[in-house]
Amino acid sequence: MRREAAGAAVRGGLALLGLALLPWVLGGDFYVNLASQVLIYALLALSLNLLIGAAGLTSLGHAAYLGIAAYAAAWLTGNAGFGALPAALAALAIGTASAAVFGVLALRASGLGFLMITLALGQIVWGVAYRWVSLTGGDNGIRLADRPAVLGFDLGTPVAFYYFAAAVFALAFLFLRRLALSPLGACLRGTKEQPRRMAMLGHHVWMLRWIAFVLAGFWGSVAGLLYLYYHKFVSPQALSLQQSAEALLMVLLGGSSTLAGPVVGAAVITLVKNLVSSYVDRWLTLLGVIFVAVVVFMPQGIVPGLAGLLRRLRALRPERAGAAPPRAAAGHEAAP
């Protein structure tokens, strides 16, 4: 058990080092900006995975929290004269509160019903952003005058913003990892696999799911703040069904049973959309082919699929045969 923890700490340290060194490796503002975007979408996918991977609830309206927080922060700084920090805190509060309310509505059902209710709620939020022109600027959106300074650091340059996004992302990742290992995380997984048994054991299944929903909304709102600071602009596309579906695809592509999965999924989709599309005209088709390939060959997603492949390769090597059973590379929570 201790070796396990030490291994995780080493991996975490390496990942942090990689995040910190990335701007030097990439060189060029364009790639640093791309990395920031990957982090923002990875955070959105991670927050959604709290519902999908942990609680087994598939949501099609998760971009709503990203959008609500981004709109709230942009509106409060632009129209209500809030400072950057109060606006950010208020935006997080508004995003989380809306998740609390939406959770009450959506958790009346699970499975397909839950999916449809979240879809409907997401569309309502989109409709408000699109139609309430005096508040949201309609499809022209709202602009943010400037990125805020955080602890005296100006986020104006691509590298500075990248480090800010990386710090927030690392914090979120650690939080979600801790959550996955905690009793609360274990209970959540219980409600996913055996809701009736969990209820019989005296757990409040609905409350557990609601907590997961609110936490997912909170981290989605954090992603929304990053989104706003990065783009300095928010329009209804940010909370459209397309955005929600894309977040869902990121989770499913990378693999919902691991924490690394949504991050990998977000990286693949963001890079195909923004980088590969410069070389391949039919990049949407390419994305489709990737999905189909993953579904056919790694139905659990890229990360669990590759981990499984690695395990089988190790098992083939004769000198390793009979050694301690190998662990899943990044999976902490789910048995394969």
Partner 1 sequence: MERRTVLKGLAGAAAALAAPAVHAQPAPIRVGMLTVKTGPLASGGIQMENGLRIFLNDRGMRLAGRPVVLTVSDTGGVPAQARTKTQELVERERCQVLIGPLAAFEALAIDDYIRQAGVPIISSSAAAEDLTQRQPNPWFVRPVGTSAQCMHPFAEYAAKDLGYRRMSTIADDFAYGHEQCAGFQRSFEDNGGRIVQKLWPPLAVPDYGTYISQLKTNADGAFIGFAGSNGFRFVRQFNEYGLKGRLPLLGGMTAVDESILQQMGNDAIGIVSTNWYSAEIDNPANRRFVEQMRREHRQDPGYYSAGAHISGAVLEAALEAVDGRIEDKEAFMRALRTGRVEETVRGPIRFDQYGQSIGNVYIRRVERKDGRLVNSVIKVYPEVSQFWTYDPQEFLRNPVYSRNWPPARHLEN
CB of 271 to partner 1, least distance (A): 11
Cβ atoms of residues 290 and 284 within 8 Å: no
Phi, psi dihedrals of residue 233, rounded to the nearest 5°? -165, 140
CB of 96 to partner 1, least distance (A): 23
The residue whose two tokens read 């975007």 is: 37
Residue closer to partner 1, measured from CB, 140 or 182: 140
Residue closer to partner 1, measured from CB, 16 or 241: 241
CB of 256 to partner 1, least distance (A): 24
CB of 331 to partner 1, least distance (A): 31
CB of 240 to partner 1, least distance (A): 9
Q: End-to-end distance of the chain based on CA atoms, in angstroms?
A: 19
Q: What is the dihedral of CA 235, 236, 242, 245, to 10 degrees?
A: 100
- The closest of 15, 55, 332, 19 to 217, measured between CA atoms, is 55
The residue whose two tokens read 């390793």 is: 320
CB of 203 to partner 1, least distance (A): 40
- The closest of 228, 242, 274, 268 to 63, measured between CA atoms, is 242
Residues 6+ apart with CB under 8 A from 254: 45, 260, 261, 262, 263, 264, 265, 266, 268, 301, 302, 303
| Buried-state track 38-55, b at ≥16 Cβ within 10 A, e below 16 | bbbbbbbbbbbbbbbbbb
Residue closer to partner 1, measured from CB, 133 or 315: 133
Residues lying near partner 1 in the complex (CB under 8 A) are found at: 28-30, 33-34, 37, 130-131, 133-134, 138-141, 143, 227, 231-233, 235, 237-238, 242, 273-274, 277-281, 283-284
Residue closer to partner 1, measured from CB, 161 or 210: 161
Residue closer to partner 1, measured from CB, 49 or 243: 243
**Distance from C-alpha of 76 to C-alpha of 92, rounded to nearest angstrom:** 12
CB of 135 to partner 1, least distance (A): 12
CB of 298 to partner 1, least distance (A): 26
Residue closer to partner 1, measured from CB, 141 or 304: 141
Pairing of strands 153-154, 149-150: antiparallel
Neighbouring C-beta atoms of residue 311, cutoff 10 Å: 16
Residues 6+ apart with CB under 8 A from 5: none
Q: What letter would DSSP give residue 320?
A: G
Q: DSSP letters along 5-64, please?
A: HHHHHHHHHHHHHHHHHHHHHH-SHHHHHHHHHHHHHHHHHHHHHIIIIIT----S-THH
Residue closer to partner 1, measured from CB, 28 or 111: 28
Residue closer to partner 1, measured from CB, 34 or 115: 34
Phi, psi dihedrals of residue 212, rounded to the nearest 5°? -60, -40
Residue closer to partner 1, measured from CB, 206 or 283: 283
CB of 14 to partner 1, least distance (A): 28
